[in-house]
Structure 1
Amino acid sequence: MNVRDLINEISISRGQSSSSNHMLSIPPSRAPSPPANAPTFSRRASIVLIGMRGVGKTTLGTIASKALGWELLDTDIIFEQQEHVSIAQFISTYGWEEFRKVETELLERLIPTNLTEKVIACGGGIIELERNCAILQRFRHHGPVIHVLREKDAVLAYLRDSPQYPPFLHETARETWDRREQLFRECCSFEFVSLTVPIPPAPQGFRDIITPDQTFALKPVEEDFFRLLKFIHGVDTKKVALPPRGPRSYSLSLTFEDVRQAIPVLDELSTGIDLWELRADLLSSCELTFLAFQIATLRHHSSLPILFTLRTVSQGGRYTNVSPQDEKAVKNQSLLFHHALRLGVEYIDLEVVMPESTFLSVVEKKGNTVVMGSYNDWEGTLNWSSPQTRYLFERITQLHVDIVRIIGAAKSFEDNMALRQFVSSVERSSVPLVAINVGPEGKISRVLNPILSPLSHPLLPRAAAPGQISFYETQSILYLTGLLPAKKYYVFGCPIGHSMSPAIHNTAFAHLGLPHSYSIKETATVAELQSVMLDPTFGGASITIPYKVEIMPYLQHISRHARIVGAVNTVTPIPGGRGLSGDNTDWRAITTCLSRSLTPANVVTSSTNALVLGAGGSCRAALYALHQIGVINIHIYNRTRLRAELLAEEFRKLDPLLKIHVLDKLDDGPLPIRPPPTMIISTIPATATAPTYSSTTSTSSELIDVGLRLEHLSDAGGVAIELGYERRITKLLSLAQEKRDQGIAWAVVEGIEILLEQGYEQFRIWTGRRAPAKKVQEKVFEVYEQQRRLMQTPEVR
């Protein structure tokens, strides 16, 4: 369909004339009403979990209830407590019909009286009766009803071998599964695939639902589930920041028939991009469950948001064109898009040539999903200089989309210039525009397009469209055309001869094709750095000791976080030549490592205790990180009590709820902390060259012993973080590892991990891009091991 046909079709569907001679004089049609029925829930609304028996509803419910501090209500458990008999025995005695009757009565009492701050896990057959379906469908207007899925064969094998569940009536478990799947989807508001992860068995006699070691193994499941919950409630919808506030952004169209084929190279494929485009029309199947597992797999292996696209043949894809007169085809296409919304995709692409009923119904139900209204001209009829193209843009914006995407076809280089002139003519629109030309002649349009520009990658089976180029090529062209000037970055400090920071940033620059450089700048005074920071080529700097505080008077802006921490480790020029800005990424690195290492069993609550060793500058970053993740009970141990007291007093002013206690000693008996700390952060050097905390003399190769003992670490598991990285394994980390060897879920975070994380955050601040973590980590560990063999002096960054 060409532009003229599209505009005529839209006009006719609105009851307007199709004459092109007076089309532009026709007043804009009445736009559809803004979305009104999209699911919006209070963050306190209870969460209801439904799904087949054995998919893990109780496990997910336990994870969610502990993390949220809500009560878990499991209908199967409540049923057995109420009837004083197991479900299997009840059914054996009274039959399935009586069981369903009692189960329904239970649900009718449970839902209305537990509308807030509960996690309700329902039995696998709850949807067998229409009365129950009606209850769930009513509730989903109040709170989320989430259909939980797992791999069918794994669950069926578990059910077959488990004596806990009675046999199904008149059908096999597989037949029951296939029949119920549609019923679950008719009753739910969202769908979650709980991908199977290896779970260690519980010790004999363990009575709790989940052991501490099992919660550690379930961390990936927790992360996947809470990604969906955060999206549902708008806490973190993973929206890409668009220009002018954000940097240039890019998407990558996956062209695999099965996303699982991409897993080995997913890290490489994600280089430089901000968004995955899942081309559902290129997958081997569009069956709903297959799509659910495709999206779940992609999410499980990447934190990037997902754009769901179903490109039809007329728009350059493989999905069959849908005629508005073909009711079955319209229904099937609509099901796919609404299923994508049910899966919580962050972005969805809607072709403006699709049946209007489907387009408007998706927009109406979009919730927190960003809708991209797209038109793809594969016939080469679109003329960027034509008034019809402007009319097309305005028509699409009237459909209440969040982003417009118009794709043309370049026959000459001049077509790209016409495209840029068109973009300039609509830049004041409140709706962002993605505009590119396909084909070899259109490559430059992809480079110049600043919003979610579609890219390809050599590791893809094929490009999604002709003329697509890689992120690396895009950056090279931007540099050659002067749109990406080379910048110089530094690490400032003294002494810093063995800093690891150049390995971090130069590796990242090279892998992303960025023309920047990073080098060491060692000076006797901070004043000597001023001329470097005022140079037009200055891109930013890492600040290390002794200048983290001394640099602050030279900065025109200091972030709130850096002011609280009392130190700056990152300097960036303010755009427009308005001076320099200072920030601190140390606390962010600690926060990141804490968050990803805490298991569902050790989620932060009002009773959580943390222990910080040392009271120097790094301690401030640790205290702030703990405060930011919600810890209010913090204990400090330092050789000099007065210094710790002063620091504690200062941070107590940050939050009236914050309780910071200073300990006198560690080595005699149990810690005076109840419950024991589940987070321990050491901010002191791992080794020493002179007598210090230990009662005996230390050398540079000896580990410092502050008196921490194995019994001081909680038997509920926890996280041990070492900020120093002159040694890979320290006293604290060896104790945590010993706990792990005992089967207790203690996570170990080495100092070099903190170093990497703060470097990744610096890289993001400077470039607006994610650092290629895997490549950087490989290089840093290589350099780190080389330096350890060549030197004995602890490295300082």
Structure 2
Amino acid sequence: MSSLGLKRKSLVEHDAQTRKYNSTEGAVSLAVLGSQTESTRHSHGQMSSYNDRDTPQTNHRALLYERASPTLATDNDSWPSTRNFRLNSSIVLIGIRGTGKSSLAVILAAASGRQLIDSDQYFRQVSGCSRAEFKRNNDHAIFQQQEALVLESMLWDNQEGCIIVCGAGTMERRGQKLLREYALTHPIIHVVRDPESIQSYLKAWDTQKVSHFLQIAGPIYRSCSNLEFFNLSETVSRGGTNTTSSEQDSSLESQIDQRPQASTPFLTLKRIQRDFLSFVAFITDDREETGRQQASFPLSLLPVESRRNTLALSVPFSALCETSVDIEELEYNVDAVELVIDVVEHTAQAASDLDLADKISHAVALIRRHTIVPLIYHVESYVRPKRPASANQNERVSDREYSALVQQGLRLGPSFLTIDLDRDKTLLANVIRSCGNTKIIGHFESRQPFPGGWDGDECLKIYERAQKLGCDMLRICQPAVKVEDNDAVQRFRHKVQNLPIRPIPVIAYNTGPLGRMSRCFNPILTPVTHSHFGKSSGLVDSDVTAVAVQKALYSSFVYDPMQYFVFGANVSYSMSPAMHNAAFEVCGMPHRYSIFQSAELRGLNELVENPYFGGSSVSLPYKTEVIPLLHSMSPHARAIGAVNTIIPIRNNDLADPRVSEVSSIHLERTRAGPVRGIHGDNTDWIGICNCIRRGLSPANAIRQTTTGLVIGSGGMARAAIYSMIHLGVRNIFVYNRTIAKAERLAEHYNRQDLFSQGRRPEDRPRVRILSHTDDPWPVAFKQPTIIVSGIPAHSIAGEPAPNFNVPTQWLESPTGGVVVDLAYKPLNTPLMKQIRALSHRGWVALDGLDVLPEQGFAQFELFTGRRAPRRLMRTIVLQEYEDDEVHDDRNAIQYRLRNLDGQLT
């Protein structure tokens, strides 16, 4: 990207532009792109027929004029009334051709069960012919009137349970009015994309012409929508790498067919699917879907503001635009990423440069693509000078400019958004009123010390203002002039926490070199930076990094160096010590992870008697034997009936009746002391679940009819079944050579009622048995698209390796699927060879080296309360891997090491 300056015209004056373009009906025809060819739409089994709906085809004129006409947004009334929608409200997608609206709609329809309605097909259904035919046979006025009538019917007769895709033809003046009215009660998402990707799809205009059209159309589309999603394009090369691309075919099937031969493929549209589904779950407050997405990351189960010593990485917007930033590499060890919209001095940039709003939207998409932590959106109130000694360094961004930038942030649905408490009260009230599910952080940064410092009345008045406005949190800072100011900020925090009214969380710290200590000990979302940005991007002597904060907390004895273990009867081969120790080191943690091999369960006593015991992985054969020794278990471990992670309970946790009910994150302690009890959890299911998610293409999105198959009946098979149930699979089959064991496994789950709240008995998950590999697939069920094998692939105790292959009659899914083989000795098992040979039919293969780090990330979070350095841990696992049976394919390992990017679930 090129260097970015503040473009006031794009954001501040977009309402004026909209009125200008609408002053003459049809002056700007947004249907110009649609007039090239009639849009080709998806028919991937998701497009519902409109014949099963009572679609009115008469009295449209009366319907149009019975409703009050919506008013155009004005400068004084440009804020949406609300962004709180009913969970089942229909969702509308708008945007010019080539932005990928239809692909996103298919993805959402498949995942959520919403009915997909396409405006072109709806027009044909209501009018009896296509738009092009109707336009040829009627004059322009009649065509426009029919366009408005059809749009009215489509929107108001499908207000719930639908995903509606609007084409360019719906964006004439009357259509804009209807969309603005609909946006008062429904999510209307403006889908944005980079000009290169749009041009590549259209194959008609050059990129410059597309950019020019975007500058004209962007303000109009934004005026008709209340939300925005940047469709960050990606393709998968035949070599298996996953890269941001300028091309994304609108045909879902043609993209899904681009599957590499590699063992860890990342399919085109896969991460777009994750991004978009997460975005929709957030804006609609779909807590069930959000919980399903976040359950794989234990830290996500608790609000970030409720955890202690949390950190927020500040990422300057200008740095994202000017340099290549590896966001995933910067994210570990922090609890949130704060995008800082740092407005620079006015620059004489060419008018053809991309709109500032598009660049902000793109920056948010980049952060979401590479992170799993919440996003904080912050607009700086002062212009950042291009040179530190600039005379304009105190120039304040006007309320008008500030409001436009904040509004753009709210459209993107960040988890948190800051508001400058020194701004106009009406502006602040508008932000809070229209924030939707975004939490608001009242922000006040004083450039000079308050007259009374932290002990004066000024700080308390700012806190009271934030609370009265309805802010969810307050962030307040001032320069430190002496070291004692760091004690004063703690007194202020203590004073607020003891107010008689219910307090809101406070982020309070000092700025300047003398204030660094207060940043290290601020308990909530301390802003930190990274050395990558350097002083040229705003890093100054008063800034601290996440690693520096971690080291300060340990060196000052707030935290203690803990000892972690892998406990089992035969764990000398374990790669977990190398993986976790490398993670501890890079995060600035003085912990140590070791092997503890014991022929008896009683060896566990030695671990828990250690006052520095921080937790342990549990290996065979103790995953079930350890359960009677536990004082509490997570719901996951209890449902699976096996434990692979134990965490010590200290202090008064045992007296807390909630201890067995809440997430084990509550039990996280990095403080030494006597162990009073043990809490058990299971992360094996998380490793399997994340691999299924990663390898399951959008074409195989989990539906009511989806079928899964588990091979084996041991502890990992239990975890595999649980992961499928968690993902929403209702039909699960088990095959095991010993049928009695398979039957016991099926009974274990069939007598439970997992994730079935509100479901009819016939809709609940059911585990069934397959008796013989010669049997045909049961005709009453669809072919499996998810297969997990939990049987070993090497010889054990002199017994030959099973050399298991899935019967070909069980692999007839027309869209392929994902196979996860939990074995990795040898790496290239017979099952993996079989599935990779079927990649041309849509089958994706993942192995035990994919699962191991995934479950390790969750263990790291449970042990430390910090996000794991995922890429590093994956790298260590691959580097440490050795095959005792000399089947080790080093070329395959090296290939995987070169293609670690893009492995975010």
The answer on 1:226 being equivalent to 2:277 is yes
Aligned counterpart, 2:204: 161
Whole-angstrom CA distance in 2 between matches of 1:392 and 1:208? 52
Whole-angstrom CA distance in 2 between matches of 1:421 and 1:136? 51
Counterpart contact for 1:242–1:249, Cα < 8 Å: no
1:480–1:207 CA distance, 2 compared to 1 (3 A): closer
1:430–1:143 CA distance, 2 compared to 1 (3 A): same
Aligned counterpart, 2:701: 603
Whole-angstrom CA distance in 1 between matches of 2:449 and 2:570? 62
Whole-angstrom CA distance in 1 between matches of 2:859 and 2:302? 17
Among 419, 422, 437, the alignment partner of 2:489 is 419
Whole-angstrom CA distance in 2 between matches of 1:62 and 1:333? 36
Q: How do residues 65-104 of structure 1 correspond to structure 2 at under 5 angstroms?
A: 65-82=109-126, 85-92=129-136, 94=138, 97-104=141-148
Secondary structure of residue in 2 paired with 1:532? helix
Among 778, 796, 807, the alignment partner of 1:708 is 807
Aligned counterpart, 1:680: 787
Counterpart contact for 1:312–1:319, Cα < 8 Å: no
Counterpart contact for 1:199–1:218, Cα < 8 Å: no
Aligned counterpart, 2:436: 367
The answer on 1:338 being equivalent to 2:407 is yes
Listed as ranges, the gaps of 5+ residues in structure 1 are 1-34, 324-328, 693-697, 793-797
Match of 1:456, as an amino acid? T
1:246–1:298 CA distance, 2 compared to 1 (3 A): same
Whole-angstrom CA distance in 2 between matches of 1:365 and 1:230? 18
Secondary structure of residue in 1 paired with 2:721? helix
Larger RCO, structure (CA 8 Å, separation 6 or more)? 2
Secondary structure of residue in 2 paired with 1:375? strand
Counterpart contact for 1:242–1:248, Cα < 8 Å: no
Aligned counterpart, 2:816: 717
The answer on 1:559 being equivalent to 2:634 is yes
Worse-superposed segment, 70-79 or 502-511: 70-79
The answer on 1:631 being equivalent to 2:729 is yes
Aligned counterpart, 1:377: 446
Q: How do residues 260-659 of structure 1 correspond to structure 2 at under 5 angstroms?
A: 264-282=325-343, 287-313=356-382, 329-381=398-450, 383-428=453-498, 429-462=502-535, 463-464=538-539, 466-576=541-651, 578=654, 579-655=677-753, 656=761, 657-659=764-766
Residue 525 (structure 1) shift: 1.2
Counterpart contact for 1:277–1:309, Cα < 8 Å: yes
Residue 409 (structure 1) shift: 1.1
| Per-residue Cα deviation, 1:410-463 (whole angstroms, up to 9, x for no partner) | 122111111111111112352111111111111111111111111121111334
Residue 140 (structure 1) shift: 2.1
Q: How do residues 98-117 of structure 1 correspond to structure 2 at under 5 angstroms?
A: 98-117=142-161
Residue 282 (structure 1) shift: 4.6
Residue 622 (structure 1) shift: 0.9
Secondary structure of residue in 1 paired with 2:455? coil
Residue 75 (structure 1) shift: 0.7
Whole-angstrom CA distance in 2 between matches of 1:593 and 1:790? 23
Residue 143 (structure 1) shift: 2.1
Counterpart contact for 1:249–1:453, Cα < 8 Å: yes
Secondary structure of residue in 2 paired with 1:111? helix
Secondary structure of residue in 1 paired with 2:454? coil
Residue 780 (structure 1) shift: 1.5
Residue 100 (structure 1) shift: 2.7
Counterpart contact for 1:681–1:722, Cα < 8 Å: yes
Match of 1:379, as an amino acid? Q
Residue 734 (structure 1) shift: 2.0
Match of 1:182, as an amino acid? P
Secondary structure of residue in 1 paired with 2:784? coil
1:466–1:672 CA distance, 2 compared to 1 (3 A): same
Whole-angstrom CA distance in 1 between matches of 2:118 and 2:80? 33
Match of 1:771, as an amino acid? A
1:775–1:211 CA distance, 2 compared to 1 (3 A): closer
Counterpart contact for 2:783–2:810, Cα < 8 Å: no
Match of 2:215, as an amino acid? D
Q: Percent identity?
A: 31
Worse-superposed segment, 233-242 or 64-73: 233-242
| Per-residue Cα deviation, 1:569-612 (whole angstroms, up to 9, x for no partner) | 11111241531101111112212222232222111111111111
Match of 2:278, as an amino acid? R
Worse-superposed segment, 528-537 or 280-289: 280-289
Worse-superposed segment, 712-721 or 481-490: 712-721
Listed as ranges, the gaps of 5+ residues in structure 2 are 1-78, 239-249, 260-266, 295-299, 348-353, 387-391, 655-676, 754-760, 890-905
1:660–1:534 CA distance, 2 compared to 1 (3 A): same
Counterpart contact for 1:241–1:247, Cα < 8 Å: no
Residue 101 (structure 1) shift: 2.5
1:321–1:82 CA distance, 2 compared to 1 (3 A): same
Whole-angstrom CA distance in 1 between matches of 2:301 and 2:706? 34
The answer on 1:755 being equivalent to 2:847 is no
Aligned counterpart, 1:143: 186
| Per-residue Cα deviation, 1:699-726 (whole angstroms, up to 9, x for no partner) | 6xxx612553386252312110111222
Secondary structure of residue in 1 paired with 2:807? coil
Counterpart contact for 2:134–2:143, Cα < 8 Å: yes
Whole-angstrom CA distance in 1 between matches of 2:476 and 2:491? 14
Residue 533 (structure 1) shift: 0.8
| Per-residue Cα deviation, 1:218-264 (whole angstroms, up to 9, x for no partner) | 11221121121011022339889568952321011113525255655
Whole-angstrom CA distance in 2 between matches of 1:208 and 1:516? 47
Whole-angstrom CA distance in 2 between matches of 1:173 and 1:432? 46
Residue 667 (structure 1) shift: 4.3
Whole-angstrom CA distance in 1 between matches of 2:567 and 2:706? 37
Give the alignment's Cα RMSD to 1 decimal: 3.1
Worse-superposed segment, 381-390 or 507-516: 381-390
Whole-angstrom CA distance in 1 between matches of 2:828 and 2:526? 44
What is the aligned length?
Answer: 731
Q: How do residues 120-139 of structure 1 correspond to structure 2 at under 5 angstroms?
A: 120-129=164-173, 131-139=174-182
Counterpart contact for 2:826–2:883, Cα < 8 Å: no
Among 753, 770, 774, the alignment partner of 1:663 is 770
Whole-angstrom CA distance in 2 between matches of 1:147 and 1:774? 33
Aligned counterpart, 2:101: 57
1:781–1:108 CA distance, 2 compared to 1 (3 A): same
Counterpart contact for 1:493–1:547, Cα < 8 Å: yes
Match of 2:681, as an amino acid? D
Among 880, 889, 899, the alignment partner of 1:783 is 880
Normalized against structure 2, the TM-score is what?
A: 0.76
Whole-angstrom CA distance in 1 between matches of 2:827 and 2:321? 34
Residue 762 (structure 1) shift: 0.8
| Per-residue Cα deviation, 1:82-132 (whole angstroms, up to 9, x for no partner) | 556554454455465444332211111111211111111011142222x32
1:575–1:263 CA distance, 2 compared to 1 (3 A): farther
Residue 279 (structure 1) shift: 1.3
Whole-angstrom CA distance in 2 between matches of 1:217 and 1:616? 34
